[in-house]
Structure 1
Amino acid sequence: MATSRTDPVTLEVVELIGAVVARYHQEYEHAASEHSLTGAQARVLGLLSLEPVAMRKIAEKLKCEPSNVTGIVDRLESRGLVERRPDPADRRVKLAAPTPEGLDTARRLRESLDFAREPLGQLTAVERTLLRDLLRRMLGEDVPEDAPPRPTSR
């Protein structure tokens, strides 16, 4: 079922998503600056806190040029937050990985982001799961098979 781009509900949803994104970026930039990081540096550090990542993959995930990622990783490395390591699967590839101090900084940064946690905390677990699944669907991602059943619209 196709939705018209001028459908009032669609227009309102687009505006609300834009407002959420703007507030998220504003708080993320503020939280990053509290840790003497730029927003881009904080995003890279957050990504690396999950697992070491090849420079090319970082650029793909952040939708930016690899040369930008090199500069960001250079600055994080000079602060002792990130290190470069050879990829065990292909020693020609360099992985960026957080140092223990980088992991600690990423954790503190995550903990300081209240914008998303506070409003999401007002939703029930079922509502948060539904929101997650809807966002994944909007992004073309698969919803996990083990996801709890979706609530009915009644």
Structure 2
Amino acid sequence: MATKRADRRTDPLTLEVVELIGAIVARYHEEYEQAAAQHSLTGAQARVLGLLSLEPTPMRQIARKLRCEPSNITGIVDRLEARGLVERRPDPADRRVKLAAATEEGRSTAGRLRDSLDFAREPLADLTAGERTVLRDLLQRMLGGPDAPGV
């Protein structure tokens, strides 16, 4: 059984798929960084702002989603708050917890940033809805299911 698993990791098709995934990730990150810079944001700031534009979130939860230290998120939120893109507010369910939330300007900036990301959208637009569904399902399976961190 271990031999079969090792063979799958080194077979030419698997190696090609790994290379293609790496190329896609590199192109996505490059475009994401460029789009963030157009809004005077770092890539990390843009990712945090994007998450917060969806819903107010405790900073520890942001750190878990982005797989980084909570102290890093504190610094990023501080800089976004100084620009008026994010605010801190008490969690209505637990007033001891602070939520980071995008301001109206933050949501607007996150929307413009999302709209400027063409790399991922353009190739996906060439796929049928069924192909996009299969791709999504395969990616979720690779990550451990729809509830996997970062999904």
TM-score by length of 2: 0.92
2:129 alignment partner in structure 1: 125
Aligned length: 143
Match of 1:34 in 2: 38
One-letter amino acid of the structure 2 residue matched with residue 10 of structure 1: T
The one-letter code of the counterpart of 2:19 is E
Within 5 Å, give how 1:1-154 maps onto structure 2.
2=5, 4-142=8-146
Alpha-carbon distance in 1 for matches of 2:143, 2:88: 31
Offset of 1:105 from its aligned partner?
0.2
Q: Give distance in 2, aligned partners of 1:8 and 1:49.
A: 41
| In structure 2, distance between residues paired with 1:6 and 1:71 | 41
CA distance in 2, matches of 1:50, 1:142: 18
Separation in 2, partners of 1:103, 1:134? 30
SS in 2 for 1:20: helix
Partner Cα distance (1:130, 1:76) in 2: 37
Matched residues in 2 for 1:106 and 1:142: separation?
A: 24
Between the aligned partners of 1:51 and 1:15, the Cα distance in structure 2 is 34
Greater helix percent: which structure?
2
Q: Which runs of 5+ in 1 are unaligned?
A: 144-154
Q: Percent identity?
A: 78
CA-to-aligned-CA distance 1:8-42 (integer Å, 9 cap, x gap): 11111111000000000000000000000000000
Q: Write the distance in 2 (CA, Å) between the matches of 1:132 and 1:93.
A: 34
CA distance in 2, matches of 1:21, 1:53: 26
Q: 1:38 to 1:51 in 2, by over 3 A?
A: same
| Ranges in structure 2 where 5+ consecutive residues have no aligned partner | none
* 1:131 match: secondary structure: helix
TM score, norm. by length of structure 1: 0.90
Shift of 1:141: 1.0
Runs of 4 or more above 4 Å deviation = none
